[in-house]
Amino acid sequence: MDAAQIPQLIAQIALADPRVRREDKTERRAQIHMWAGILTEVPYDFALQAAQQHYAASQWPINPSDIAARWQATVRDRMTRHTGTFEPGDYPDLDPDDVIGYLQALRGQRQAVARGLQPPSNVRAITAGPAADAVTARLNALGTYVPRQVDDVLDAYRPVKAARREAVITGQPDPLSVDCDWCQAPAGEPCRSRRIAPGGGATANRRRSTPHPSRADDARDAVREQQEADA
């Protein structure tokens, strides 16, 4: 709320409760300054409505903290119902490679939801492929330290993890969930290319962006065996 709106807000509240408004000019200036600092994030219309709700249920004078508390509870409720899912189709002019622009758009979306200018976005149901719970569990097993939306942007620079995420989402076996019998890469580690060292013998050095075919076959066999065991 703009500080210039505070005197109008107090005047409106004083129509219902004259005790709220200070009569001394010095105290009134101090009151306006104090209320402005407390209600800086609260929209004027919300503050007025909060005062109306207060006096509908209470005979005690309202404090700015009462209004701020109602606003914070409202914002928490909105953000709890907001999944934060970012839909690129809603921003056709946004370059998919513009990470800074993406983050600014995401921040603007969250602020719009918090202020009630945009309704919270719900999770879109998965209509094909594996069950949603199974996808979530498998993605969690991969581990992440950033929001899913940022993960999507960074996948272009992490082909190995991007391939694992794609396999999970599409319901395909994850080759990196098993050891590789070709290059001896342990589960969770990408495959490596093998070369012949100058002194003889095979060594593995360069990381591969795709797993060895035999490892993908082993992953499919492991999934099939698990499904048979569960049955």
Assess contact for 28 and 2: CB atoms under 8 A: no
Q: Which of 9-23, 74-88, 201-215 has the highest mean pLDDT?
A: 9-23
- For residues 191 and 139, give the distance between their C-alpha atoms in angstroms, rounded to a whole number: 20
- For residues 190 and 98, give the distance between their C-alpha atoms in angstroms, rounded to a whole number: 28
Assess contact for 176 and 188: CB atoms under 8 A: yes
Quick one: average pLDDT of 29-45?
A: 92
Q: Return the pLDDT at 125.
A: 47
Assess contact for 19 and 58: CB atoms under 8 A: no
How many CB atoms neighbour CB 47 within 10 A? 24
Q: Which of 34-43, 135-144, 147-156 has the highest mean pLDDT?
A: 34-43
Q: What is the DSSP string of 60-78?
A: SPP-HHHHHHHHHHHHHHH
CA distances from 97 to 58, 80, 105, 160 (A): 54, 29, 13, 19
End-to-end Cα distance, the chain:
61
Quick one: average pLDDT of 47-70?
A: 93
CA distances from 1 to 6, 18, 35, 71, 178 (A): 8, 22, 10, 12, 57
Query: Is the model's pTM score more than 0.75?
Result: no
Residue 50 burial class via C-beta count within 10 angstroms: exposed 0-12, middle 13-18, buried 19 and up: buried
Tens digits of residue pLDDT in 108-138? 777 777 776 677 666 554 444 556 666 666 6
Higher per-residue confidence, 132 vs 4:
4
